[in-house]
Every structure is written in structure tokens, then in C-alpha cells.
Structure 1
């Protein structure tokens, strides 16, 4: 029996008992189980199970009253989770985690045979963990995008921050962040964020084991203040992925690492340029201070300061001016710089103090808007779109528009459920990284770069737009017909430039008309973007949109 099936077997072996914390349900339906009279009794039953389990209950769905594997259809399982979520809310609890299995039959020992994911299962059976306490109230949550050259200690630094553990000098804490999307059991949680920790009145709340999804959910539940990290890629061949992580998410701050042994590299300058060109308030950390001399650290400090001044930014040494000053002065033009070591934990207390106090910078008012970054198909749930909410807020049950589709049209969908960091929530606000389960669309029909909007919105997708651009790096001139890849929000699409005056030189700023090469997208005035073709790079701002013909 696989470890995953062992979770189900343990729940079945424990069984339903009068004073126990396990409950078997073949199916929960809105018409039957939320009717007058049943709602009250089922809420009382759930509360009893939670209290019996010292604050945690286990609901096995898709089984008979005696624990026999029945399996229910994916739509029926999804409806059951919706009903269970409502019951939990009534009982002052929440669904913390769900594991599901496809049932293609039953083995001799009663264990469901799990499909390989290539064919639709005959049915679904699942184990839901229900925990005492209301769902997350995420009013104070900042999102930090990390950047820096490969082996400059980005993931190691973040791993030490979220766990509080010192690195062993070999990158041991880096492993805490090596989580791939296919490892997410339900797929609902937006795996854009590779690390999370938080704060309450007593200080930091960290993860004991970031590989445990329930541990992440615990931090989200207990913290009054959350800090999520979007950890990007340092290798030059994956610069496109880094751009997507920095441009496509609704980040509050950037965190750029510069290794003390290596210093400022060309990749460092590129990442710094992308961070600052998108007006993202940024902190620079000089990492690996434990493996070099004080003289070398001072030399790298001067390199960093020169690199910042070259792009018209003012460096602010945290060790010299203090954490409070750094918090008050950080801006689009002032960049705090501090020295750190994940091994000795030098500087980590200062980073904690900054992240605890830095104000949230994102969160636009207005109607809900979310650009889609990733999609999943979750067994028993269906299509899931993940991304960072750009504006407004969304609730379970909301009716939305999804698009534009290939033909430029938008499709009506419904929010089935929302999750953040493996924690199911009823609503989420601007700046939050979420996974949204959608009813009314197949996962295959959802693409990165699409947007979710309120149902009554009247969006006009565009094929081309006018922009003010600056060429950061190019070997020669940019002429009419230049074709870079445009990174705008979560859009990554080839575009054609038609610059005013016919050309742009390196270091030039000027106007250009940009036309997406293959399809239209929802683009708005004021949005910033990065363009790249080979080693040529630049940034731009949308100044005018022209409806597609």
C-alpha cells in the first residue's frame, strides 16, 4: 500500500465512534444536508467531532456508513467539499487539507485502486481534515519576490527565514523551497509562493517542516502578519522564468541577493534593472558573509552601491542607519542594503524586523481582477487557476468572466472554492496569491495571460497598444519590425515593435507601437512590462490601448 493510501486506510481503520473524531459520509448535497433542520444537526455533529479530536476532525467522503469504499463522481465530490466547508464555517472551523484518490475498483484488502491520472476514475474518495478556528483573515500580508545570480543564496536565505534554522554551509535550508507544482496534492494552492512565514504579538511564526502542507497552513492560520516569498531562478537560460516571477505577480517588495564571494555579476545587474524598472521597492542583501573576510564584504558593499547609483538609486546601509530608517525610507528610489549569512544568521534579525513592519504596497481598489499564471486539473475539483489578485476581492460562489479566449471572447465561470497556502478561504483580497477552482470551464481551455473579472465587466481585449519604452541592453539598434517577447502581468507573448522615428538605440527612451503577434489580451494604460529577445532587454509602460480591429 502506498503512503498516500495509508492515510485513507488509517482513517478507515479508526472508524466512526460515538466519541471519536472520524466521520464517514458517502456524499453531502446542498439540497439535503443544508436544508432547515439538517444544517443545525450536522453542524452540531461536526463540532462534536472536532472537540473529540482536540481541535481536529477527519471526514472521509465517498465511503458508506460502515467504511466501505463507494466512490462518488467528481462533481458530487466537489459539491460535498462545498457543503462541508459551509458546515465547518457554521461550527467555527475550517477545512485545512484534502487528499483525494480516484477509485477504479477495490483491491482484495478493501483499499481503492488508484488510477495513474491518465484516465478519468470511476469515482472519488477523499479525506478532509477539519480544524477548529475560523478561516484565514489575510488583511496584512506582503509578497516578496527574490532575485539574484545562481548560487548567490536566494533560496537558502529564504529557507532560513521561514524556518529559523541556520544553514549548514551546503545549502541545507534551500531544500525547503524545492516544491514543484505536481507535488501539490490538490493543486489548489498557488505554488507561485515557495515560502511563507509570519508574525504575531510574540514575534516570528515559522515552519517546522515546510514540506508538510499542514505546517504551512498552520502558519497561515496562526499569524497576524504573513510574508510570502516568490523565489525566482538565477541561471541566465531561465531569465524568462525570473521575469515572469517578478513581473507577473503582484509583489510588494523585491529581495535581491549578491554573494560576498562572487560580487555583482551581469545577471545581478539584469535582475536589479528588472526590479527597479518596474518601480518595485527593493532590498539588497549581501549573502555568504561568513566565507569571506571583512575587507571583501566591504568591497562588495561598494560594488553594490556603485551598481545602484548607476541606475539613479540611493543605497541605504541598514547597519549604519538602522532598521527603522530603512523601513521609513525604502521606496522606488531608496534601496536598503544589508549584510547577511544563513550560516551564522547575521542580518536575519534585521530582515525579520523589516518584514514585520514594512507596509503593504499593493492592493488596488476597484473591481476584482486577476491575471492567471498557472492552471491545474484537480481530481474531484476540476479546473483551477492560480495567480495573484491584482485588484478588488473574490468570494466563493462569485460569478466571473474568464478570457480572452483565442477568439477574443470571454466565458462565464463560477468560483467553486479558493485556497491560499493549502488553506481554504472563503474570500481573498488584492495582493494575495491564490488558487481558484472554477466551475464551467475545462482546465485545457485556460491559458496563462488570461484574466478573471466580475461577470458584469465589459472588457475589450487588444491586439496592439502604444508604449513608452527604454532599451536596457541591445547590441545594435532596435528597428521597425523588431520582435521580442513581451512580459506584461502574466502574459508572455511575442510582439512586434514599430518605434516612433523608426529606431531606438541602447539607453534610448521613446515611443513605440507594440502588436501581439498571435492573439489579443486584456491590456490597460499604465501597466509596466519587460521585453526580451536573446540578450537584448528593455522595459516599458503602456500609454494607450487600441481596440483590436
Structure 2
């Protein structure tokens, strides 16, 4: 919700005119405004407003014909936005943005009710909103969309590297470009990422399409609209206490590639090795970027590159220096065995053109056919829209208006919901498919009922949530032995839940590979054979693959 009422006041001051681009509506309903004959008339009116505004119209909802602040209930406002979206689609236009304000029910000096910054209207007030309508249909997403997850030790320059890539701007040497990713005040103040961040840029026939200001959602949306090929980054957390969040970013997203950063002034650390282990456990094709090459001598950069090469060989991977072998070789050979290495500096921009070329040419790896599926990574409530579930689509595709199931709830049941709208990096889209990072507005559920680890499925699916499953696991690190009842946190898709292990032979030792029964401690989830997971408890870590499931009774 906007805290600046200037947008609303400007629209009210301009008012409705026969040849103008502003339209006042108190409320729009499906029954009345989408009825036969009325729908076509209103779509024609909307088209007229858009053309009068040189491709942009402003609809003020929740006001009377003379611009008085009526205010409508949140549910009525949501329905009005649904109807307005359908009218815009018929007029070959789309809703680009919606801003809302509370109406407090009191009278101002002119005898009309006043708009407030209230984010939670009560029974005595309601909402008024301004919808910006743009010419042109909602973006179709038929282009390739590569998703890359970053990893690496804290202060090794992950966020700075991504910030410089998506903007094309050199860093100031103080990590200035990282501010384009970290949005929480304590992250900016401390200079440490504490949660997953997202960024996007793209490519067209002329080269990179960068974001002018990643902190402005309109600029991110412009890249999505203009680029023929998109590259999204899931920027994870390097600080060791937030390893759980890093694992969530690497395991819970539908990634195409991993980007492991190693600072030239520090070299590989224990955290570097742990993050590399997670990347390899998920079988993710990986690139290593040696960062901060400007901060040390060429000899030191070469030394760190040799350390990285030894580290890769220790885990049976073949390092490939892109500086020596070239981008063609890196694109052709990256995969299960080969890990390209690129020297970079966000300050001098050395190596950035190489990364651009790689990201422009690397093929998408994670596309999956089949029915739609998306595990919920985040949820939030948008005033006037309702509950929004965000995550990366695992398979299939989804369209606005689709009927879906979401769950499981704590009791194992699924709820029926409807897709109100879909956004990808702040750009509204008609549909989205496997590999897209999206926010899906849902009708039929409150945001408080959504939890990370839930899954969205087609309405005709017949999901069987489980409390237990069988798995083949490998213990990467543990001080003693894993016995019956051992309780690590299991990270599977976006699920992060304590679970008890019951090994077939009664125990598992460090380095062992074996079978175990795994039981979630608190609630059921949707788990299927073939899914990979990471488990951890303190410095104990391991990886596994689901082999069989036991649906709850």
C-alpha cells in the first residue's frame, strides 16, 4: 500500500472528462459489469480512456461519480480488480499497478470522508484504490528464462557481483551495488544478507538488457517486457548462522545453474566447501566466480584459482578455466563433471562480459513437462488483492483463472483456490510455466493459512501427503554415528522441517551410504519418490533421495 496520497489526489483533481484518461468507479461486480452487452460497452469505454491518455488510463475505484471517497470492503475491491482486469484484457490492455488507501469514515473540512494510511480497514471504513491501465496485452512468457542460484562465504561478494551484473554498474569498492538486492533495513545497515534476494536482467539481439534501478519495480518489469531471454538470480546467504536459508535457496528453487563465489583475498573457506557440497548434492551445473580480483595481486588470484581447482578435483569434478579454454568450451562442457571458473571484479568490471556471454548462451536445464506444481516459498497479503504465494514453478504451467489445490494443511487436507493474477518480477503475466519465479494471487484462502513447504496443484489432482518416507542417504559429516531417532532438519523443495531418522541397519557412520526411514516431526507434506533433499543438524550434514513414500491414513 502506498504511503503517498499524492497519486490519489492528482487523479481526483483531474476528474472525469469525456476526452480524458481518468475514470471513477465506486465498485465493479461480475454479475452487473460483465453481463451481456455491458461488458462490451465498458471495454470500449476503457479503450477510449487508454487512447485518450496516450496509452495509459487511470481508474479510481471506491469513489462516487463526482470523486467523493466512498470506500468499499476489501472483498469488493478484490472483485472490482478482477472485473477491471477482464475488461482491460478485452480492450487489449492490462493493469500495470494498483495503489490502495484506507478510508477512515470521518469527514474532512469539505464534508467528505478522508483517505488514510490505514492498512487494515475496519467495518466502519473501506478501501479506495488507483489502478494504472497500460495499452497492450499482458506479457506472454514464451522466452527462455534461466534461473541461477548464488552461493559462497559471507563477504565474498555474491550480492555485489549480481548487483553489478543486472545494472551494468561498477561497484564503489564498498559493496554499493549489493544494496540493489538486500531490501531489509538491518541487511543494509549491517551489510549482511539474511534472507533470499531476487534480481533479474536479460538479453535481446543487441546484448544485455539491464535494470536501471532494481529497487523500482517498474524498472524490473520493463526488463521482463523488453528482453528476449531472461536471467533471474536467487541470491542466497553467506553468513554461517543462516545456512538453513542458503539450503532453502539452493534446494527449494527450480534452478538451472549454481554460481559459487570465492573471494580472491580470502580463498576457499569451510563455508565455501559446505555450499559446494549442497550444489553438488542437488546435481546442479555450477560456475565458480573468483571475485575481488582487483583487491589482490595477479599472483594471489592465480593461487586462489589453483586452490579452487584442487577443491573441485577433491570432489571428482574437472575445473575449466574460461580465461584459458574460452566461453565456447565452457558452454559446451559445463555439466555433471565440468565446472567453469571465471575471474571477476565488480569494481573494474573485469570478467563481467564473460559472465554475460555465459548467461546469454547457457541452455535452460530445468524445464519439466507435466501437470502444474509449485512449492510455496513465501506468502504475503496485498491490500485489495489478497493472499499471494510466491515460488518457482517446478513443472507445467499456470494461467490466470485456473482452479488449483493448495496444501497440505496441518490435518493433511488441501484447499480449493482460484488464480486471480500472476506476476513475474513485478510484471503481470497471463501465464507462466516451469522454471519461472512468480507470485500468484489466490482467491479462496487467507495469507495466514499459507505456509512455506505447501504446494499448489491442479484442482483435479489427487495428492497424498505423507508423514513418513524411505530414502537413500549419504552422511557427509557427523561427529559420531547416526542412530535411531536422530533428528536433523530436512530440506526438501521449500520444506524445512525437523524429522526423525530410523536407519535400516540401526546406524549410519560418516561417509556411509544407506537406507533410512524418515518421519516428519510435526505435520505432513507432499513428497514423492526421486526428490532430493539435504539434512543438517549443527555441523552434521548429509544428502538423500526419496525412494518410497507412506501416505497418511
Q: TM-score, normalised by structure 2?
A: 0.94
Describe the shift of the 1:411–1:382 C-alpha distance in structure 2 as closer, same or farther (beyond 3 A). Answer: same
What residue is the counterpart of 2:489 in the other structure?
A: 485
1:133 aligns with 2:140: no
Q: How does 1:7-46 map onto structure 2 within 5 Å?
A: 7-46=7-46
Tell me the matched-pair count. Answer: 541
- How far apart, CA to CA, are the structure 2 residues paired with 1:311 and 1:483? 27
What SS does the aligned partner of 1:366 have? Answer: coil
Q: TM-score, normalised by structure 1?
A: 0.95
- How far apart, CA to CA, are the structure 2 residues paired with 1:9 and 1:121? 22
The answer to whether the 8 A contact 2:406-2:455 is kept is yes
What SS does the aligned partner of 1:158 have? Answer: helix
Q: How much does 1:128 deviate? A: 1.5
RMSD: 2.0
Q: How much does 1:106 deviate? A: 5.0
The answer to whether the 8 A contact 1:104-1:121 is kept is yes
Pick aligned residue for 2:364 from 355, 360, 365: 360
Describe the shift of the 1:35–1:117 C-alpha distance in structure 2 as closer, same or farther (beyond 3 A). Answer: closer
- How far apart, CA to CA, are the structure 1 residues paired with 2:137 and 2:196? 25
Q: How much does 1:102 deviate? A: 2.2
Q: How does 1:89-488 map onto structure 2 within 5 Å?
A: 89-106=89-106, 108=108, 111-117=114-120, 122-139=125-142, 140-180=144-184, 194-488=198-492
The answer to whether the 8 A contact 1:473-1:536 is kept is yes
The answer to whether the 8 A contact 1:370-1:391 is kept is yes
Describe the shift of the 1:252–1:107 C-alpha distance in structure 2 as closer, same or farther (beyond 3 A). Answer: farther
* Partner deviation per Cα, 1:405-453 (whole Å, 9 max, x = no partner): 1111112222222222112222111111111122222222221111111
The answer to whether the 8 A contact 2:471-2:515 is kept is yes
What SS does the aligned partner of 1:77 have? Answer: helix
Q: How much does 1:54 deviate? A: 2.8
What SS does the aligned partner of 1:149 have? Answer: coil
What SS does the aligned partner of 1:457 have? Answer: coil
- How far apart, CA to CA, are the structure 2 residues paired with 1:284 and 1:311? 14
Specify every segment of 5 or more residues in structure 1 that has no aligned partner in the other structure, as ranges.
Answer: 183-190
- How far apart, CA to CA, are the structure 2 residues paired with 1:271 and 1:120? 50
What SS does the aligned partner of 1:4 have? Answer: coil
Q: How much does 1:147 deviate? A: 0.9
Q: How much does 1:132 deviate? A: 2.0
- How far apart, CA to CA, are the structure 1 residues paired with 2:106 and 2:149? 46
The answer to whether the 8 A contact 2:141-2:429 is kept is no
- How far apart, CA to CA, are the structure 2 residues paired with 1:499 and 1:121? 59
- How far apart, CA to CA, are the structure 1 residues paired with 2:449 and 2:119? 22
What SS does the aligned partner of 1:463 have? Answer: strand
Describe the shift of the 1:76–1:209 C-alpha distance in structure 2 as closer, same or farther (beyond 3 A). Answer: same
1:495 aligns with 2:499: yes
1:49 aligns with 2:53: no
What SS does the aligned partner of 2:4 have? Answer: helix
- How far apart, CA to CA, are the structure 2 residues paired with 1:349 and 1:107? 59
Describe the shift of the 1:466–1:120 C-alpha distance in structure 2 as closer, same or farther (beyond 3 A). Answer: farther
Specify every segment of 5 or more residues in structure 2 that has no aligned partner in the other structure, as ranges.
Answer: 187-194
- How far apart, CA to CA, are the structure 2 residues paired with 1:14 and 1:307? 65
- How far apart, CA to CA, are the structure 2 residues paired with 1:21 and 1:181? 38
The answer to whether the 8 A contact 1:373-1:449 is kept is yes
Q: How much does 1:14 deviate? A: 2.5
Q: How much does 1:114 deviate? A: 2.3
